Amino acid sequence: MIDKRVGSAREAVADISDGATVMIGGFGEAGSPIELIHALIDQGAKNLTVVSNNSGTGLVGLAALLRAQRVSKIICSFPKTAGSTVFPDLYRAGKIELELVPQGTLAERIRAGGAGIVGFYTPTAVGTPLAQGKESRVFDGREHVLELGIRADFTLIKGRVSDTHGNVLYHRTARNFAPMMATAATVTIVQVAQVVEAGELDPEGIVTPGIFVDRVVHVPSPALESALNEVGASYP
Amino acid sequence: MIDKRVGSAREAVADISDGATVMIGGFGEAGSPIELIHALIDQGAKNLTVVSNNSGTGLVGLAALLRAQRVSKIICSFPKTAGSTVFPDLYRAGKIELELVPQGTLAERIRAGGAGIVGFYTPTAVGTPLAQGKESRVFDGREHVLELGIRADFTLIKGRVSDTHGNVLYHRTARNFAPMMATAATVTIVQVAQVVEAGELDPEGIVTPGIFVDRVVHVPSPALESALNEVGASYP
Amino acid sequence: MSVATSIGWTRDEIAQRVAQDIPNGSYVNLGIGIPELVARHVPQGRTFIYHTENGLLGMGPSPAADQGDPELINAGKRRVTMMPGAAFFDQATSFAMIRGGHLDLSVLGALQVAANGDLANWSTGADDAIPAVGGAMDLVAGVKRVFVMTTHVTKEGEPKLVPSCSYPLTGRGVVTRIYSDLAVIDVTARGFALVQLAPGLSFEFVQERTGAPIINLALEASK
Amino acid sequence: MSVATSIGWTRDEIAQRVAQDIPNGSYVNLGIGIPELVARHVPQGRTFIYHTENGLLGMGPSPAADQGDPELINAGKRRVTMMPGAAFFDQATSFAMIRGGHLDLSVLGALQVAANGDLANWSTGADDAIPAVGGAMDLVAGVKRVFVMTTHVTKEGEPKLVPSCSYPLTGRGVVTRIYSDLAVIDVTARGFALVQLAPGLSFEFVQERTGAPIINLALEASK
């Protein structure tokens, strides 16, 4: 009998330690696991390295984690979404380190980390500042950059539904980085709006197989960044 | 209005030229696109390089293509399945070249070819004869081998159902190599037992998005290698 | 409220001109901003399939205001819809489409385009700027035809078509064709080459507003 | 029909012994042949989830003869079933599970195992052999714990546990533990180390049939 459910977001993130690398799903608010992030803020771990495509908006979710100064470094492709003020302020004040990575390279580096591919060559970013300091090499007459896989201690993602084995389905464009982040961490934690018994999901349609998932947290009505920001919410 | 259907398997493979590289889906008989392979035999292209996990059984499908001496080289992980006699005979007679690749490396090389990743480092095969002549490099104290992406001129695969845009679903373990082979060829041809209109498949459950598929052939009752072999069939 | 100058093409006219050059059945990625207008001008009888790099093929138009799903969005994080035949996928698959050369066309905005096809469209390199690149570098490296839609000059009147980019690059030698308010210009092995002038404009007028020589193929042919 | 010798463990007893060492909830890949027997001996109260590298997690037992689906097969190309919670996926994903270290355990057969953990299990290197490797090299390179199930000696009586492999390698230093008909033996930094003898066998009996020294930890401890 396998059952990966844990009782609460608080319990799920309890063992994230200071200095950990944490991948956080989402493209903007789509797929952002707000309840898990808020639990991490409550938990208090600091000096984190966060891997996430954006930097959050308003004063909730990822932006709130940054605002609480728990994150010393962020690996990111686009940290200045409309409505994002926390990151720019911290960055200009020299209080956070940024590793800027092209979005597709970020996705592929995370996939590589999860797939046991230590490094790969891509034409993306050749000749740009983001290739500076990176090894490059010509294949078939074209220059490529060596990019390395990324792994993390924890991954926090949001799904639509999971079974008790951790097989996860997502909602539309909230899928984005979650499937590859699920593969690339020592401990993968997913919050889902619905949990079903093993056998209730179609085996042909599973997006993230349960082998990649360690903990499932049932969050029946997850908040959305835009809805929280509309009412001027801030966390904590 | 987009409609990728072509009238027949014959029509679908008509422009495969001598010397082409052709990826052929399937793990054993599961997923083997027999009707497309038979159309390719009828069509007559020779001196082909075939990329396929196995080498076929009996005297039908992939084995029949080899027996017709249309294939000068095969890139393969396991060419000696039970019931496979055509390949061993040709190989011992020096009539076919074999590039043996570990199964996971084969899958990843095809994925890389389709994803614009020119090469990657893997620990698989280090210290074995299959790493001989390949560049190796130590990352994090562990030796890795550089493997290069594979691309093809054509891919022949079998799906369960496709819509007119070429969005494909597969049947159980017949999926195997098809999704990545679909991405790695200039022209991808899929035979499916059922074709539906665009909009009839759940956008959340598409396995191969239509962007990877060029031609859809409706083969309502595809043959299985084992069934053909049971009755001693041979092709042509 | 400012009134648009009557010189050259309007934004919608540029978008319409771009759309004319896209073959039926093309898989197209439209960049954030002006390029999004292309979707409004699909020529009669053609179907384009729109890819948004955050994970959707078969993107449809924006929903009505206060409608839509906050988790059905485009790369600009705006709500969109989906068309029949759409498919959702993850970021690795989405960028496999881009990097693997599966998209027919990418239409992007620009800060600068150089005569050799170099593109700068993500950063002015200003000291206080927050660096942010998104998928632009992947798109220009992976998609075979890259169209740029841009005003011909900056708000300050400086040429955006330049001998070489002074801003940080998005990619080297990646631009195929430029659609501005003044002209359609190809990037060729010999540099910028005129394809079409906006109505009422002279070659000299456009050349004066361009930072590098433009080859006038029609003129060459008549010599 | 030959009768099995009564010395040591039977195949099923070896499989049972292996299963005892697998924690509840483990994700396990069973190699083709003898390792498949492990699935018959899951200890009471434990659940293992079986991975088959051709694209299924949650593989169930074989269907009744002449039942089953010819496209629902295992890595040995035999028909199988699926368990509640199963998932199908493609080969790249399947080997991402393997290479990325997501499987807890791989149980494989062997031609030879060396005292340093080198494994040879895909080819005897014979001139007329058809080379075929499948997923074996990926499994040993990617899965953290690799158990070998094997007869202690070949049909000709030659040791399969050797100082160094003479056959082509599947992987270097990859084997964690060996379960033979005669003993359970760990591969340690100091070489082979005895974990358990089959009932009625002496350490010397097993050592005589092994090509390299076996450390007898119990003996060392008693000294």
Judge whether residue C3 has pLDDT over 70: no
Do strands B119-122 and B142-148 pair parallel, antiparallel, or not at all (unpaired)? antiparallel
Q: State whether residue D66 is helix, strand or coil.
A: coil
Closest approach of D204 to chain B, Cα-based (Å): 33
- Domain for residue B235, yes or no? no
In CATH, what number is assigned to the domain containing residue A169?
3.40.1080.10
The interface pTM score, or ipTM, of the predicted complex is 0.97
Contact A211 D103 (CB under 8 A): yes
Instruction: Find the angle CA(C8)-CA(C150)-CA(C145) to the nearest 5 degrees.
Output: 120
Contact B226 D137 (CB under 8 A): no
Portion 53-112 of B in contact with C at CB < 8 A? 111
B contacts of A31 (beta carbons < 8 Å): none
Instruction: Give me D137's structure tokens.
Output: 């090299």
The number of domains in chain B is: 1
d(C-alpha A96, C-alpha A76), whole Å: 12
> What is the mean predicted confidence (pLDDT) over C22-49?
95
B contacts of A202 (beta carbons < 8 Å): 205
Residue listed under structure tokens 């049932």: A218
- Domain for residue A82, yes or no? yes
What does the pLDDT read at residue D223?
65
d(C-alpha A25, C-alpha A176), whole Å: 8
Q: Is C53 a catalytic residue?
A: yes
d(C-alpha D79, C-alpha B29), whole Å: 11
Please report all neighbours of D, defined by 3+ CB atom pairs within 8 A: A, B
D contacts of A113 (beta carbons < 8 Å): 100
Closest CA to B27 of D102, C213, D74, A47: D74
Quick check: C169 and C116 in contact, CB under 8 A? no
What percentage of chain C has pLDDT greater than the value 70? 97
- Domain for residue B214, yes or no? yes
Q: B184, exposed or middle or buried, with CB in 10 Å at 0-12, 13-18, 19+?
A: buried
Q: Choose, out of B155, B211, B213, the residue to mutate when testing the contact with C (most C CBs < 10 Å).
A: B211
Judge whether residue A59 has pLDDT over 70: yes
Chain B contact for C102 (CB, 8 A cutoff): yes
pLDDT grade for D217, boundaries at 50, 70 and 90: confident
Contact B206 C89 (CB under 8 A): yes
> What is the mean predicted confidence (pLDDT) over C128-132?
90
Closest approach of D78 to chain B, Cα-based (Å): 10
d(C-alpha A57, C-alpha B140), whole Å: 37
Judge whether residue C222 has pLDDT over 80: no
> What is the mean predicted confidence (pLDDT) over A81-103?
94
Judge whether residue C4 has pLDDT over 70: no
Q: Is the peptide bond before A203 cis (omega within 30 degrees of 0)?
A: no
Quick check: B83 and B229 in contact, CB under 8 A? yes
d(C-alpha A204, C-alpha A202), whole Å: 5
Chain C contact for B188 (CB, 8 A cutoff): no
Quick check: B48 and B21 in contact, CB under 8 A? yes
- Domain for residue A98, yes or no? yes
Instruction: Give me D200's structure tokens.
Output: 């009625």
Chain A residue at shortest CA distance from D89: A204
Contact A118 B170 (CB under 8 A): no
Please state the length of chain C.
223
d(C-alpha D136, C-alpha D34), whole Å: 15
Chain B contact for C93 (CB, 8 A cutoff): yes
Q: Choose, out of A24, A101, A124, A168, the residue to mutate when testing the contact with C (most C CBs < 10 Å).
A: A124
Residue listed under structure tokens 């010393």: A72
What does the pLDDT read at residue A81?
81
Q: State whether residue A75 is helix, strand or coil.
A: strand
- Domain for residue A216, yes or no? yes
A contacts of C91 (beta carbons < 8 Å): 27, 53, 103-104, 106-107, 176-177, 180
Q: Is the peptide bond before A236 cis (omega within 30 degrees of 0)?
A: yes
A166-201 pLDDT, tens digit each: 999 999 999 999 999 999 999 999 999 999 999 999
Chain D residue at shortest CA distance from B77: D134
C84-106 pLDDT, tens digit each: 999 999 999 999 999 999 999 99
What does the pLDDT read at residue D2?
44
Quick check: D140 and B124 in contact, CB under 8 A? no
Contact B204 C88 (CB under 8 A): yes
Q: A35, exposed or middle or buried, with CB in 10 Å at 0-12, 13-18, 19+?
A: buried
d(C-alpha C12, C-alpha B236), whole Å: 58
B contacts of D138 (beta carbons < 8 Å): 102-105, 124
CB-closest option in B118, B121, B148 to A117: B121
Chain C contact for A26 (CB, 8 A cutoff): no
Chain D contact for A202 (CB, 8 A cutoff): no
Contact C85 B167 (CB under 8 A): yes
Quick check: C120 and C111 in contact, CB under 8 A? yes
What does the pLDDT read at residue C1?
38
Judge whether residue D4 has pLDDT over 70: no
Q: C126, exposed or middle or buried, with CB in 10 Å at 0-12, 13-18, 19+?
A: exposed
Question: For the whole prediction, is pTM greater than 0.95?
Answer: yes
Chain B contact for D153 (CB, 8 A cutoff): no
What does the pLDDT read at residue D66?
83
Contact D91 B177 (CB under 8 A): yes
Q: What are phi and psi of A195, to 5 degrees?
A: -120, 135
> What is the mean predicted confidence (pLDDT) over A54-62?
97
CB-closest option in B117, B172, B202 to A120: B117
Closest CA to A47 of A69, A14, A26, A31: A69
Closest CA to C107 of C181, C173, C172, C177: C177
Instruction: Give me D184's structure tokens.
Output: 């359970």
CB-closest option in B91, B126, B172 to D71: B172
Lowest mean pLDDT segment, chosen from A72-86, A113-127, B55-69, B181-195: A72-86
Mean pLDDT of chain B: 97
d(C-alpha A163, C-alpha A184), whole Å: 20
Do strands C27-30 and C49-52 pair parallel, antiparallel, or not at all (unpaired)? parallel
pLDDT grade for C5, boundaries at 50, 70 and 90: low
Contact B78 D172 (CB under 8 A): no
What does the pLDDT read at residue D3?
44
Query: Please, what is the end-to-end C-alpha distance for chain C in angstroms?
Result: 47
Residue type, C84: P
d(C-alpha D85, C-alpha D108), whole Å: 25
Size of interface B-D (CB pairs under 8 A): 144
Closest approach of A98 to chain D, Cα-based (Å): 27
Closest CA to B35 of B50, B58, B59, B13: B13
Contact D170 B128 (CB under 8 A): yes
What does the pLDDT read at residue C85?
98
The runs of H, that is alpha helices, within D35-158 are 91-99, 136-142
Q: Is the peptide bond before B236 cis (omega within 30 degrees of 0)?
A: yes
B contacts of C84 (beta carbons < 8 Å): 197-199
> What is the mean predicted confidence (pLDDT) over A19-41?
98
What does the pLDDT read at residue B232?
95
Quick check: A217 and A5 in contact, CB under 8 A? yes
What does the pLDDT read at residue B84?
87
Contact B203 C88 (CB under 8 A): yes
D64-101 pLDDT, tens digit each: 988 999 999 999 999 999 999 999 999 999 999 999 99
| Sequence-separated (6 or more) residues with CB below 8 Å from residue C204 | none
Helix (H) or strand (E) holding C192: strand C191-197
Mean pLDDT of chain D: 94
- Domain for residue A235, yes or no? no
The runs of H, that is alpha helices, within chain B are 9-12, 34-43, 61-67, 86-92, 103-115, 178-183, 225-230
B contacts of C98 (beta carbons < 8 Å): 116
B198-218 pLDDT, tens digit each: 999 999 999 999 999 999 999
> What is the mean predicted confidence (pLDDT) over C151-173?
97
pLDDT grade for C43, boundaries at 50, 70 and 90: very high
Which domains, ranges and CATH numbers included, belong to chain C? 11-222 (3.40.1080.10)
D156-193 pLDDT, tens digit each: 999 999 999 999 999 999 999 999 999 999 999 999 99
Chain D contact for B29 (CB, 8 A cutoff): yes
Catalytic residues of D: 53
> What is the mean predicted confidence (pLDDT) over B223-230?
96
Judge whether residue A159 has pLDDT over 50: yes
Please report all neighbours of B, defined by 3+ CB atom pairs within 8 A: A, C, D
| Domain interval for residue A55 | 5-230
Distances, alpha carbon D143 to alpha carbons A211, B128, D41, in Å: 13, 17, 22
Instruction: Give me D217's structure tokens.
Output: 């930890």
Quick check: D154 and D163 in contact, CB under 8 A? no
Kindly report the number of other CB atoms within 10 A of residue C42's CB atom: 16
Q: Which of C13, C36, C53, C220 is catalytic?
A: C53
- Domain for residue B236, yes or no? no
What does the pLDDT read at residue D5?
55
Contact D69 B129 (CB under 8 A): no
